[in-house]
């Protein structure tokens, strides 16, 4: 049982890029893996079980031990502050957190409002800037907030910047670069150190080749 590994993976682009890394690292994952709609996928040949989750939930699964390791964006780790160890920067799904809004607009002097799905990150950033703002938590379509007068600014993930442009918004400040990280549950790391360290070693070799 010490060799069995449960991995929490985010759905979407990170999942696809992480699968490619795992395959390059020599893990045999079946082709149908990519298109499966199942939420739990077993790969008996590798003694691995994969849990597919929303990106924001991966670190929660790892913290509570239902997954030994996981792949999570640095944005999630900054926001959630879960009790997990960060083992490796996988250098995939690169993007960044930024402050954006309507061009030529100033922050409200009386009650500036910032809409985001990253309330902790946003609050910390504006606190560091010496600005007191009201944080409005949204779960999606953050770009709407300045357009309908809900907020003066937004804090969100920017990849290509296309979404901002299409909605008539501009970037004001860049907060933090984001890539996906391999994380581990502290207890699992002690119990399954051999198999987890092998995973880290094999992925490290692939990542180092990718970034050259």
Same domain, 19 and 78: yes
Enclosing domain of residue 101: 95-176
Whole-model pTM above 0.85?
Answer: yes
pLDDT, residue 211, reads 57
Closest CA to 122 of 146, 150, 98: 98
pLDDT, residue 35, reads 73
Q: Count the domains in the chain.
A: 2
pLDDT, residue 210, reads 67
Block means of pLDDT (10 residues each) for the chain, 212 residues, are 82 90 93 80 92 94 97 95 96 96 90 96 96 94 96 96 94 96 97 96 89 54
Same domain, 89 and 99: no
Same domain, 149 and 194: no
Same domain, 15 and 36: yes
CATH number at residue 169: 3.40.190.10
Alpha helices in 49-185 (DSSP H): 58-63, 74-80, 119-128, 144-147, 162-166
Given strand 69-73, what is the order of strands in its sheet? 40-43, 48-53, 5-10, 69-73, 180-184, 85-89
């Amino acid at each position: 049982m010490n060799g069995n590994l449960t991995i929490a993976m985010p759905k979407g682009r990170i999942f696809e890029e992480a699968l490619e890394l795992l395959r390059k690292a020599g893990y045999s994952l079946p082709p149908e893996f990519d298109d499966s709609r199942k939420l739990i996928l077993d790969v008996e040949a590798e003694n691995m079980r994969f849990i597919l989750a929303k990106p924001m939930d991966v670190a929660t699964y790892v913290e509570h031990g239902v997954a030994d390791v996981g792949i999570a964006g640095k944005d999630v780790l900054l926001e959630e502050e879960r009790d997990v160890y960060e083992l490796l920067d996988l250098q995939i799904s690169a993007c960044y957190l930024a402050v954006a809004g309507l061009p030529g607009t100033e922050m409200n002097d009386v009650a500036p409002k910032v809409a985001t799905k990253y309330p902790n990150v946003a609050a910390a950033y504006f606190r560091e800037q010496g600005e007191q703002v009201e944080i409005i938590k949204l779960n999606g379509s953050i770009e709407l907030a300045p357009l309908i007068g809900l907020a003066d600014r937004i804090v969100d993930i920017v990849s290509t910047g296309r979404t901002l442009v299409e909605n008539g918004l501009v970037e004001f400040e860049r907060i933090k670069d984001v890539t996906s990280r391999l994380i581990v549950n502290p207890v699992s790391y002690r119990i399954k150190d051999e198999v987890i360290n092998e995973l880290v070693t094999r992925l490290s070799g692939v990542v180092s080749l990718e970034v050259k």
